[in-house]
Amino acid sequence: MTDKPVLTLRDLSIEFPTPKGLVKAVKHLDLTIQKGRRVGFIGESGSGKTTTALAIMQMLAEPGRVSSGTIDLAGIDVLALSEEEMRQTRLSRIAYIPQGAMNSLNPVMRIEPQLWDGIIAHEGHVVEAELKRRSDEALASVGLPHHTAQLYPHELSGGMKQRVCIAMGIILNPDLIIADEPTSALDVVTQRQVMQTLKDIQAKIGSGLILIGHDMGLMAQSVDELAVLKDGELVEHGTVQQILEAPEHPYTQDLISSVPLVGGESFLNPERQADAPKRDSTEPLLRFDTVRKDYGDVTALHPLSFTLQGDTPQIISIVGQSGSGKSTMGSIMLGFNEPSQGKVLYEGQDVYNMSAAQSLAFRKNVQAVFQDPYACFNPFYRVNHALKFPFKRFGLAKSEAHTQQAMEEACAAVGLDPDLVLSRYPHQLSGGQRQRLIVARALMLSPKLLIADEPVSMVDASLRASILSNIYDLKDKYGISILYITHDLATAYHVSDFVMVLYKGHVVEAGPPKEVIGDPQHPYTQLLIDSIPWPDLHRSWGHTGGEWDPEAKEAAARRADMVFRGAVPGFDLVAG
Amino acid sequence: MTSQDHVPMTRAEKRQAKRIRRFDNPWMNPKLLWGVGLLLGIIALGLIGRVLWDPELVFTGSAPLKLPPVGFENLRRQEGIWDYPLGTDGGGRDLLALIIIGAPNTLFVGLLASLIGMSIGIFLGFSAGFLGGRTDDTIRVLADVMITIPPLLILVVFQSAFGDVTLTMMALLIAGFVWQSPTRLIRAQVLSMKQSGYVQMAQLSGASTGHIMFREMLPNLVPYLFGSFIASVTTSIVTAVGLEVLGLGPQRIPTLGRTIYEAINAGALIQNLWWWWGIPTLLLAVMFIGLLLINLGLDEVSNPRLRKLS
């Protein structure tokens, strides 16, 4: 039993009959997972990662089916099992840790009985003392305090819920754990903690682990072997070392090079600097005057003042985790969210107190790219509506032909074929194409300021770099100043002229990116940088080495004052 | 994708393929088609009937009394005759003429009432959801209070005060009680839509409030509006018929409800004059089944998850 592989997939194919014909989700997959090995499945959405995992569990969604091949789980032919035998196998031999663990727990049950469910379903009646002992043991093994058992899911943080899900998965000591993007909804700091827990527990019970993900860095830090999937095919398989150091398939190379490194080579090529569009006003482009925002008793943004002159195009990055107030800041700048105190001035005009004509001018000159490219297009119209309408509304269109020409030029500038995309409906385009169209829209309107709120966080990894360079081009070729809001320090490092790190509504560290991100001084910035998983084996998850204690760092971060790391001309920051 | 497998399809597979093909055009939904067919049938009965049959026969005394439909006998052993194929009532009116005139009238009241109700609902729902604040509070409280008042109670009082009313007047009165649930439905939709990316994009594009409401949001609400419209037609007809059966509503214009009222009043139940109340009831049932099927069909059209392969 010891040297037998826990999982062997032979020539596995999975298909889904649809109105448009058979869709082959997985094609002729061969893979073996040895005992105690961690294997990463990496690929874009739709590449068949999750489908494969669900097939192993026999949980494929209707009408999907395994059309050929075998699944051998430590000597058992999974496909030959009856419904009842499969039920017995799930959890006791294969455990599945789902993607959104937040939603996988029953909100009206305490944690403890939810852990017991699995044991009772497999072993029948077990005395309560024994159940209690085992659930406490499982919770302890994922590093959760004893009293967690008596809490309800809503009383736990996201990272704790994810750990409860891991505890549930390992409670029966399975042979194989399948973790489907277990950290995709978590912040980098929590992600590192949860992955550490998962690795420790897997090593302890000695099971195999399949980690499904799309982040090359996370994979490099977490698994032994990597399987790269593309369109249902296994394009490359090998140890992490092999794949990271000598990727053979061009798709793997793309995946690796798309992860920007702090201090690494830039994926941008700043050739020339364009001048900012001519401004008729000497007033600064955008000024925050002690702006503060409260939601009830919670202060999302503490008083903050800055001035963006806007005479030379610049990219200012605002970096922080979810809840840091960075998106609040973005919506305040756009005039969507009135601050509780202070003023936002656009060329000397209060954004929240403008006449209709001023407001139209403000709208024309301050544009945005939002996080979710799927929601940005009205499903009722073809995508060109989103480009055409503002162009006409702002009086830029001279004629119908002129509008068409401007749209085609803007599409070409962001690398889209105008004939292919413009007359389509939004659902016919991929997320990457849609986000590029939004960038093209901003380009057509040639605003003075663009607010980019997490523009690439919902786009497939291999496209991120190219979309970011499209945005970067806006500054470089068209002279548009950009406020880049992100949680991703590595991209902020490359694109920006000035970085502000936001933590609980305070700016904790600010300055040129080479200083702030390259050599962080504030404990919170250090914590963020240490938590980034690098796709580099020699850089074992941060470079501090030794003890890694996020709680101590956070406590230190709360006490520490703002660190100001130097100014850049054209941007003045005054934190309150 | 695979070209080599040209195995002839079995019968089950062919049936499956046919079902899958039906997915391509969701409007070819059997429920929707049947529902529309039934309602169109009733409208056609009204239109064609007026040409082919003599509508004068709805007047009292224009026909012999209490004749049964063709093929039946009444208690006086009279047989039905082809001059009055569905029989006549106790006032000497021909039942076929009554339903030819009455059924479209009933449908008209229902459609008009819910058309007015929906318009009020769209207007108030949009105002509440979009403007928010004080306006929202007022409209929401108003709708919530109105929804708890039993409409029949108020309508009975109104109608007895007005005495004889026209069909339009009746529709107007009923409309006052069918705007609340569309208002709430649209308000909820508008609230969630207001946060959506494309509405924000439109705001960024300098769109006016009117543009955002009617050009960006409204088109996406159409499936909800359709479903809500059909539901309120049903409610309106039920309310209208309820009033008519109580003897309220239009006194001189034949409607299905009024015919049932007269039948009950004249003791049609004891005298075994079943056709007098039975035929209008049957027609009402057909109307409601038609509306229900349309509603179910629309639901499947706008919500693909309800469409099943099997």
pLDDT digits (tens, 9 = 90+) for A367-422: 999 888 888 888 888 888 989 999 998 888 888 899 999 999 999 888 888 888 88
Task: State the Cα–Cα distance between residues A360 and A346, nearest whole angstrom.
Answer: 12
- Closest to A372 measured CA to CA, from A437, A444, A441, A456: A456
pLDDT band for position B153 (cuts 50, 70, 90): confident
Model confidence at B36: pLDDT above 50: yes
* B28 contacts chain A (CB < 8 A): no
pLDDT (mean) for A278-285: 74
Query: Is the distance from CB of A170 to CB of A93 less than 8 angstroms?
Result: no
Q: How many residues does chain B have?
A: 310
Strand pairing report for A298-308 and A286-295: antiparallel
Query: Is the distance from CB of A418 to CB of A412 less than 8 angstroms?
Result: yes
Query: Is the distance from CB of A439 to CB of A467 less than 8 angstroms?
Result: yes
pLDDT of residue A35: 87
Please report the beta strands in chain B, taking only residues with DSSP state E, as ranges in sequence order.
none
Query: Is the distance from CB of A13 to CB of A24 less than 8 angstroms?
Result: yes
In a domain? residue B36: no
Distance of CA A156 to the CA centre of its chain: 22
Q: What is the span of the domain harbouring residue B209? A: 51-306
Chosen for mutation from B16, B193, B203, B204 (greatest number of chain A CBs closer than 10 Å) is B204
In a domain? residue B38: no
Q: How many residues does chain A have?
A: 576
Strand pairing report for A225-230 and A38-42: parallel
Residues of chain A with Cβ-Cβ distance to B14 below 8 Å are none
The Cβ of residue A60 has, within 10 Å, a number of other Cβ atoms equal to 17
Query: Is the distance from CB of A295 to CB of A560 less than 8 angstroms?
Result: no
Model confidence at B2: pLDDT above 50: no
pLDDT (mean) for B107-123: 93
- Closest to A162 measured CA to CA, from A205, A192, A122: A192
Q: What percent of chain B has pLDDT over 90?
A: 23
Query: Is the distance from CB of A462 to CB of A254 less than 8 angstroms?
Result: yes
**DSSP-assigned letter for residue A283:** S
Tens of pLDDT, residue by residue over B251-294, are 888 888 988 998 888 888 888 888 888 999 999 999 999 999 99
- Closest to A565 measured CA to CA, from A517, A509, A492: A509
- Of A103-117, B162-176, B296-310, the one with minimum mean pLDDT is B296-310
**Superfamily of A5-257 according to CATH:** P-loop containing nucleotide triphosphate hydrolases (3.40.50.300)
* B203 contacts chain A (CB < 8 A): yes
Query: Is the distance from CB of A197 to CB of A112 less than 8 angstroms?
Result: no
* B12 contacts chain A (CB < 8 A): no
Model confidence at A438: pLDDT above 50: yes
CA distance B309 to chain A (A): 9
The DSSP H or E segment spanning A491 is helix A489-495
Q: Which residue of B has its CA nearest to A359?
A: B206
* B302 contacts chain A (CB < 8 A): no
Query: Is the distance from CB of A209 to CB of A41 less than 8 angstroms?
Result: no
Model confidence at B4: pLDDT above 60: no
Given its phi and psi angles, is residue A452 left (phi above 0), alpha (psi -120 to 50 degrees) or beta? beta
Given its phi and psi angles, is residue A44 left (phi above 0), alpha (psi -120 to 50 degrees) or beta? beta
Residues of chain B with Cβ-Cβ distance to A336 below 8 Å are 200, 203
Give me the helices (H) in A177-315, please.
188-205, 216-222, 240-245, 250-257
Helix, coil or strand: residue A160: helix
The reply to whether residue B204 touches residue A386, judged by beta carbons under 8 angstroms, is: no
Q: Which residue of A has its CA nearest to B217?
A: A378
Chosen for mutation from B2, B19, B198, B305 (greatest number of chain A CBs closer than 10 Å) is B198
Q: What percent of chain A has pLDDT over 70?
A: 94
Residues of chain A with Cβ-Cβ distance to B205 below 8 Å are 363, 386, 389-390, 393-394
Residues of chain A with Cβ-Cβ distance to B216 below 8 Å are 378, 380
- Report CA-CA distances (Å) from A292 to A223, A343, A368: 44, 9, 21
- Alpha carbon distance, N-terminus to C-terminus of chain B: 24
Model confidence at A285: pLDDT above 70: yes
The Cβ of residue B167 has, within 10 Å, a number of other Cβ atoms equal to 18
In a domain? residue B157: yes
Task: State the Cα–Cα distance between residues B88 and B146, nearest whole angstrom.
Answer: 42
- Of A114-128, B155-169, B193-207, the one with minimum mean pLDDT is B155-169
The reply to whether residue B197 touches residue A363, judged by beta carbons under 8 angstroms, is: no
In a domain? residue B40: no
Asked casually if ipTM beats, i.e. exceeds, 0.95, the reply is no
In a domain? residue B203: yes
Among chain A, residues having any CB pair with chain B shorter than 8 Å are: 17-19, 21-24, 62-63, 334, 336, 359-360, 363-364, 367-368, 370, 372, 374-381, 386, 389-390, 393-394, 438
Task: State the Cα–Cα distance between residues B58 and B102, nearest whole angstrom.
Answer: 10
- Of A169-183, A252-266, A554-568, the one with minimum mean pLDDT is A252-266
Query: Is the distance from CB of B187 to CB of B129 less than 8 angstroms?
Result: yes
Model confidence at A546: pLDDT above 70: no
Quote the pTM value: 0.77
pLDDT of residue B3: 41
Helix axis angle, A523-531 relative to A550-559, nearest 10°? 150
pLDDT (mean) for B29-42: 90
In a domain? residue B90: yes
Q: What percent of chain A has pLDDT over 90?
A: 16
Highest mean pLDDT among A350-359, B54-63, B297-306: A350-359
- Tally of domains within chain B: 1
| One-character DSSP codes across B98-156 | HHHHHHHHHHHHHHHHHHHHHHHHHHHHHHHHHH-HHHHHHHHHHHHHHHHS-HHHHHH
Strand partners of residue A23: A16
Chosen for mutation from B205, B216, B302 (greatest number of chain A CBs closer than 10 Å) is B205
pLDDT band for position B37 (cuts 50, 70, 90): very high
Residues of chain B with Cβ-Cβ distance to A376 below 8 Å are 197-198, 200-201
pLDDT (mean) for B196-211: 88
Given its phi and psi angles, is residue A394 left (phi above 0), alpha (psi -120 to 50 degrees) or beta? alpha
pLDDT of residue A130: 92
CATH of the domain at B176: 1.10.3720.10
pLDDT of residue A1: 44
pLDDT band for position B19 (cuts 50, 70, 90): low
- Alpha carbon distance, N-terminus to C-terminus of chain A: 65
Strand pairing report for A298-308 and A94-97: unpaired
Instruction: Spell out the domain ranges in chain A.
Output: 5-257, 284-520+562-575
Is A284-520+562-575 assigned to CATH 3.90.1150.170?
A: no
Query: Is the distance from CB of A301 to CB of A288 less than 8 angstroms?
Result: no
